[in-house]
Amino acid sequence: MPASAGGTGDLLEGNPRYQKVQDLARGAFGFVVLALDRSTGEQVALKFIERGPQHINKYVEREIANHMKLRHPHIVGLREVFLTKTHLVLAMEYAAGGDLFRYAAARRGLHEDEARWFFQQLILAVDYCHRMGVTSRDIKLENTLLDGSPRPLIKLADFGFSKDANQHSAPTSRVGTPAYLAPEVVTNEPGKSYNAEKADIWSCGVLLYVMCTDRYPFRRPGDENLKPNQKLNAMLQRILKADYTFPPDKPLSKEVKDLISRILVPDPDKRPAIKEIQSHPWYLEGLNSAALSFNDTIVRESLATQPSPKVLVEVQAIVHAATRTEAAEQQSQGPAAAAEQRQQGAEEERRRGGVNPSESLDDLLVGQVMEDSFDML
């Protein structure tokens, strides 16, 4: 299908490194295709974001910059970033098992043992991110991918709303997915900041609840009869009061109820930190004690092997170039300069196959996921 007709068309035609295999997903952010990396023989997920200022914004730049810092077994890896004539492309690790939302929905909720297995991994991933200075601000089932192994391993994905505590100002924006928003994010006023780590922890609590019950804690069956704005407002009001119950048709242990109840509290100062979650009896059940120090070595190695300043400058230049379409660049440069740039770009692409900033990744996203995540301001 031609690109102009809504398909991905031949956007990779002539690319020396990647060959398209099939379309994977489409959404407000753009689209994702499965591709073969000819240089390694591995399958990768290529996320295409249309060039131009209406598509390439501060969140895209932060997504790439923050994701480049992260190298962890439970985080999707960002392999490289490159430009086509029409798109900015993120080459990412391919998570063959899909996302945790579909996995849990197909089973109408998970048994506690399996939910614990995924939650233990999630907390390890979030702990690593926070220790690296990065907060997600959009943790949810749809952004938690699976590797496709018989006993799936999770891969946390999508850093489009992430913040780096070492590089960016304190979080103030009301961003994320409504069903997972913490109360302090819902009520936050412009110019005021909130603790994004504690907001991430709230989202982890919502995710755990959904895995165990097959429903969202702050939605009610009658909400379907409301208009969209009324439905959203009703849910947000319940979030502010932590107004939820455990469904009687989904028997849960008192231990998991206790953990969820400790996390889903309106006051972020009373919400447990990662270390407190990791010391909870329900979390510890069946966990190898070595897992509690698992991130120590990885954090040290990650801090010692961060992308070089040169790579960061190269990637930043690619992202900035993506804010302009190729036609706009040619118009501003004139025919001779544009032709020279095309020739140089082709030679560079043949020589290097694109800029390879790191060995980490982003997300294999389902279309509706990005449509559900938004800046509320």
pLDDT in tens, 272-283: 999 999 999 999
- Copy the structure tokens of residue 363: 């997300």
Catalytic residue (choose from 138, 158, 363, 372) = 138
141 and 288 belong to one structural domain = yes
217 and 179 belong to one structural domain = yes
Q: What is the pTM of this model?
A: 0.84
219 and 234 belong to one structural domain = yes
Task: Enumerate residues 6+ apart whose C-beta is below 8 A from 46.
Answer: 12, 18, 32, 33, 34, 35, 89, 90, 91, 92
Is 267 designated active site? Answer: no
182 and 215 belong to one structural domain = yes
Among 273, 301, 329, give the residue marking a domain's end: 301
Among 264, 285, 301, give the residue marking a domain's end: 301
Its sign, for the CA torsion 288, 290, 293, 294, is negative
Q: What is the mean pLDDT of residues 219-234?
A: 94
Among 301, 332, 354, give the residue marking a domain's end: 301
What CATH code is carried by the domain that includes residue 278? 1.10.510.10
158 and 191 belong to one structural domain = yes
- Copy the structure tokens of residue 369: 């996921």
Residue 347 has pLDDT above 90, yes or no: no
Burial call 57-90: b when 16+ CB within 10 Å, e when fewer: eebbbbbbbbbbbbbbebbbbbbbbbbbebbbbb
Q: What is the mean pLDDT of residues 250-259?
A: 97
278 and 330 belong to one structural domain = no
Identify which has the larger pLDDT, 355 or 79: 79
Q: What is the mean pLDDT of residues 312-327?
A: 88
Query: What does the pLDDT read at residue 336?
Result: 55
Distance between the two ends of the chain, CA-based, in angstroms? 36
Q: What is the mean pLDDT of residues 13-38?
A: 90
If one counts every other C-beta atom within 10 angstroms of the C-beta of residue 337, the result is: 12
Q: What is the mean pLDDT of residues 205-214?
A: 98
Query: What does the pLDDT read at residue 329?
Result: 58
Give the whole-angstrom CA distance, residue 178 versus residue 373: 8
Q: What does DSSP say about strands 78-83 and 18-27: parallel, antiparallel, or unpaired?
A: unpaired
Q: What is the mean pLDDT of residues 177-204?
A: 94
Over pLDDT 90: what percentage of the chain?
73
Domain containing residue 191: 100-301
What CATH code is carried by the domain that includes residue 76? 3.30.200.20
Give the whole-angstrom CA distance, residue 40 versus residue 93: 12
Query: What does the pLDDT read at residue 341?
Result: 47
What are the start-end ranges of the H helices in the chain?
A: 58-68, 100-106, 112-131, 183-186, 196-213, 228-241, 254-263, 274-278, 281-284, 294-304, 309-322, 326-333, 335-352, 367-372
91 and 117 belong to one structural domain = no
- Copy the structure tokens of residue 290: 């070595």
191 and 237 belong to one structural domain = yes
Q: Tell me if 76 sits within 8 A of 155, measured CB to CB.
A: yes
Identify which has the larger pLDDT, 365 or 274: 274
Q: Tell me if 146 sits within 8 A of 98, measured CB to CB.
A: yes
Q: Tell me if 223 sits within 8 A of 179, measured CB to CB.
A: no
270 and 365 belong to one structural domain = no
φ, ψ (nearest 5 deg) of residue 77: -95, 135
173 and 289 belong to one structural domain = yes
Q: Tell me if 232 sits within 8 A of 170, measured CB to CB.
A: no
To the nearest whole number, what is the mean pLDDT of the chain?
85
104 and 67 belong to one structural domain = no
Query: What does the pLDDT read at residue 5?
Result: 39
User: How many domains is the chain partitioned into structurally?
Assistant: 2
Tell me how far the alpha carbon of residue 270 is from its chain's centroid: 26
85 and 212 belong to one structural domain = no
Give the whole-angstrom CA distance, residue 178 versus residue 328: 36
